[in-house]
């Protein structure tokens, strides 16, 4: 009898353990999904600040926020129940998660002290008091900024946030029983308006981003420059500065007379070029008149500042270093081009594009031996891949 009871006890224990394990697995799977979306967004922000910690709080832990950003650690916390609300949105579930995470990341990257977010966030207690100390106007400004940046970076990360934000807010308000109005916060209606405005603005800016990229491809550099110049006003990110500088440099390259080597040896294509083949061969006889020379110098000087700005935003942004090195070489300063590559983080110097610009720059310093060595490394890297 005693044995039987013991066996039964063990059986119950095993069932319980299995149940706990299943639950643990479940939250781990959710954490994996959340982390994937989070990392995609962090890449889209491409900010030197790195990323905050991401914590998924199990439903069993009672807490006062739904999703929040805290600057002290720093970390972003998401309630498991909020994850489930997003998961219930079917094909839009990842888009919904991206909206929430991108919004919180926007607070982090814009150096807001913390997320004063009433929509995804607070229910009461000490945190609520802290929020009340902030003026309503500051809150709305921070939220507007977080929505603008958040939605834009959702798009850059490949998600589709448009058209679901309001539904997501409705679902959150109803699942958490949040009142339409909370003391000291903007009402839900105001929040809806902020979202709508952000969506409209970002839809326009994102299409500008796409037009800018396409314009570079079809070599309409003036249009590309207008697009990225405008975008840097709203989103002064390393990518936008880099794209702006790229459009200017490619335009300058188009104006510049080609050296013999550039027409004959593909090694001499600047690694900034997106598609270089056909055009190079056509324009070999080009002469540089005074007006074109002036325009070229203006473009290169201006591109130089754009790439320097991109690097100042992220000291490890290898693309901008390589582009800046191309600009220096185009400005007949190959020593500075070599210097830029040497400034790159060591682990990023061993790449094809870095070797290629070094090969070109060493050639221009009359160091043909070193130049050949670099081009050899280009082909080694290519053969290795
Ligand atoms: Zn917020």
Q: Are 99 and 150 in contact (CB under 8 A)?
A: yes
Q: Give, for 68, the enclosing helix (H) or strand (E).
A: strand 67-70
Which residues lie below 8 Å from residue 127, measured CB to CB, with a gap of 6+? 64, 65, 68, 121
Domain match, 41 and 115 both: yes
| Cα(230) to centroid(ligand 1), Å | 25
Q: Which long-range contacts (CB under 8 A, 24 or more apart) does 206-210 make?
A: 206/152, 206/155, 206/156, 209/155, 209/156
For residue 269, how far is its CA from the centre of ligand 1 (angstroms)? Answer: 46
Co-location of 201 and 232 in the same domain: no
Residue 187 and residue 54 share a domain: yes
Treating both helix axes as pointing N-terminal to C-terminal, what angle do 238-255 and 290-313 enclose, rounded to 10 degrees? 160
Q: Which residue has the tokens 């914590």?
A: 55
| Residue 263 counted as domain residue | yes
312 C-alpha vs ligand 1 centroid, how far in Å? Answer: 27
Q: How far is the CA of 104 from the centre of ligand 1 (A)?
A: 6
Same domain assignment for residues 72 and 193: yes
Instruction: State residue 85's pLDDT score.
Output: 94
| The pLDDT value given to residue 119 | 43
Distance 158 CA to ligand 1 centre (A): 21
pLDDT of residue 129: 56
Say which residues have a Cβ less than 8 Å from residue 371's Cβ, sequence separation at least 6: 358, 359, 360, 362, 363
Q: Determine the distance separating the centroid of ligand 1 and the alpha carbon of 121, expressed in angstroms.
A: 8
Task: Examine the domain organization and report whether 200 and 116 are in the same domain.
Answer: yes
240 found inside a domain: yes
16 CA from centroid of ligand 1 (Å): 39
My answer on whether 145 and 247 are in the same domain is: no
Round to whole Å and give the CA distance between 50 and 121. Answer: 24
Give me ligand 1 centre to Cα 23, in Å: 30
**Domain check: are 182 and 291 in the same one?**
no
Any domain includes 45: yes
Domain boundary among 183, 206, 229: 206
Which residues, by Cβ under 5 Å, contact ligand 1, an ion? 115, 117, 146
Pick from 179, 206, 233: which residue ends a domain?
A: 206
Co-location of 295 and 181 in the same domain = no
Please tell me the distance between residue 99's alpha carbon and the centre of ligand 1 in angstroms: 11
**Does 144 reside within a domain?**
yes
d(CA 126, CA 117): 14
Q: How many angstroms separate the alpha carbon of residue 141 from the centre of ligand 1?
A: 10
> Do 103 and 195 share a domain, yes or no?
yes
**274 C-alpha to center of ligand 1: Å?**
38
Domain coverage including residue 231:
218-384
- Computed on alpha carbons and rounded to an integer, the radius of gyration of the chain in Å comes to 27
Q: In total, how many domains does the chain have?
A: 2
Whether residues 199 and 225 share a domain: the answer is: no
- Ligand 1 centre to CA of 154 (Å) is 15
Residue 213 lies in a domain: no
Residue 277 burial (C-beta neighbours within 10 Å; 0-12, 13-18, 19+): exposed
Asked whether residue 276 is domain-assigned, the answer is: yes
* Per-residue confidence (pLDDT) for residue 381, from 0 to 100: 87
CA of 108 to the centre of ligand 1 (A): 10
CA of 33 to the centre of ligand 1 (A): 22
188 occurs within a structural domain = yes
Could you read off the pLDDT tens digit of each residue along the chain, which spans 385 residues?
A: 455 555 655 555 544 444 444 445 588 999 999 999 999 999 888 887 889 999 999 988 877 678 888 888 889 999 999 999 999 999 999 999 999 999 999 999 988 876 555 445 444 455 555 555 566 677 777 878 888 889 889 988 889 888 898 899 899 989 988 888 766 566 788 778 877 888 888 888 888 988 998 999 899 999 999 999 999 888 888 888 999 999 999 999 988 877 777 777 888 888 885 433 333 344 444 566 788 889 999 999 999 999 999 998 888 889 999 999 999 999 999 999 999 999 998 889 999 999 999 999 999 999 999 999 999 999 998 887 6
CA of 153 to the centre of ligand 1 (A): 15
| Residue where a domain terminates, one of 206, 233, 263 | 206
Distance 241 CA to ligand 1 centre (A): 26
Residue 321 pLDDT:
96
Please check whether residues 186 and 75 belong to one and the same domain: yes
Q: Which two tokens stand for residue 143?
A: 């939220």
CATH number for the domain that contains residue 287: 1.25.40.10
Ligand 1 center from residue 346 Cα (angstroms): 38
- The answer to the question of residue 176 being in a domain is yes
Neighbouring residues of 301: CB distance < 8 A, sequence distance ≥ 6: 331
Look up the pTM and report it: 0.72
Does 225 lie in the same domain as 194?
A: no
């Amino acid at each position: 009898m005693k044995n039987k009871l013991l066996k039964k006890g063990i059986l119950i224990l095993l069932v319980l353990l299995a149940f706990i394990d299943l639950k643990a697995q479940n939250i781990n799977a959710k954490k994996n999904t959340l982390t994937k979306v989070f990392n995609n967004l962090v890449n889209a922000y491409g900010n030197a600040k790195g990323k905050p910690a991401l914590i998924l709080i199990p439903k069993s832990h009672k807490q006062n926020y739904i999703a929040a950003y805290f600057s002290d650690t720093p970390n972003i916390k998401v309630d498991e129940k909020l994850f489930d609300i997003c998961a219930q949105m079917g094909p839009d579930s990842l888009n919904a998660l991206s909206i929430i995470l991108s919004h919180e990341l926007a607070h982090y990257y814009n150096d807001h002290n913390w997320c004063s977010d009433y929509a995804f966030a607070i229910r009461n207690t000490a945190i609520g008091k802290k929020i009340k100390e902030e003026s309503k106007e500051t809150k709305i400004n921070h939220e507007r900024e977080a929505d603008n940046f958040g939605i834009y970076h959702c798009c850059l990360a490949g998600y589709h946030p448009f058209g679901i934000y309001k539904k997501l807010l409705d679902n959150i308000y109803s699942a958490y029983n949040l009142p339409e109005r909370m003391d000291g916060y903007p009402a839900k209606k105001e929040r809806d308006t902020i979202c709508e405005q952000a969506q409209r603005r970002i839809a326009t800016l994102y299409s500008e981003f796409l037009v800018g990229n396409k314009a570079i491809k079809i070599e309409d550099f003036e249009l590309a420059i207008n697009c990225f110049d405008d975008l840097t006003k709203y989103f002064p990110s390393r990518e936008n500065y880099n794209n702006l500088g790229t459009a200017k440099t490619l335009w300058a390259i188009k104006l510049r007379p080609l050296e013999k080597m550039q027409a004959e040896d593909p090694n001499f294509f600047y690694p900034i070029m997106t598609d270089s083949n056909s055009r190079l061969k056509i324009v070999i006889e080009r002469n540089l008149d005074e007006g074109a020379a002036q325009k070229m110098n203006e473009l290169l000087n201006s591109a130089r500042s754009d790439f320097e700005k991109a690097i100042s935003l992220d000291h490890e942004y290898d693309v901008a270093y390589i582009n800046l090195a191309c600009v220096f070489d185009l400005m007949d300063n190959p020593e500075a081009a070599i210097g830029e590559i040497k400034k790159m983080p060591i682990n990023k110097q061993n790449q094809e594009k870095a070797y290629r610009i070094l090969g070109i720059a060493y050639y221009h310093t009359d160091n043909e031996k070193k130049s050949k060595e670099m081009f050899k490394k280009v082909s080694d890297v290519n053969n290795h891949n």
